[in-house]
Amino acid sequence: MNLIMMGYDIANRKDEILKWYSENDWNLKRNFLVNNGIKYIYWVKNEGSPLDLGRLGLSNIFENDSVIVYKVN
């Protein structure tokens, strides 16, 4: 079953996430994570620079050659 059939507003969510990536205000970035109930971030290493753990309140809970998994505290 796809997300559109389940009633998710994919277009709006995609826009919000793209804005999050380009946002320079760390407080807004942190609030987005908390307000959307995001508990974990799966970061593929070749997709760009790692996240600022301190400013976003993240903990590195797993890492290998390809990915990093962060927990939102």
Does residue 69 register a pLDDT over 90?
Answer: yes
Position 1 pLDDT exceeds 60:
no
Report yes or no on 37 lying in a domain: yes
Burial of residue 6 (CB within 10 Å: 0-12, 13-18, 19+) is: exposed
Residue 28, helix vs strand vs coil = helix
pLDDT exceeds cutoff 60 at 70: yes
Q: How many domains does the chain have?
A: 1
In a domain, 65, yes or no: yes
Residue 50: domain span:
10-72
Who has greater pLDDT, 39 or 17? 39
Q: CA torsion, points 8, 9, 10, 13, in degrees to nearest 10?
A: -120
CA–CA dist 72, 26 (Å, integer): 14
pLDDT at 68: 92
pTM metric for this prediction: 0.77
Is pLDDT of 13 > 90?
no
Q: How does residue 4 score in pLDDT terms, banded at 50, 70 and 90?
A: confident
- Give domain status of residue 4, yes or no: no
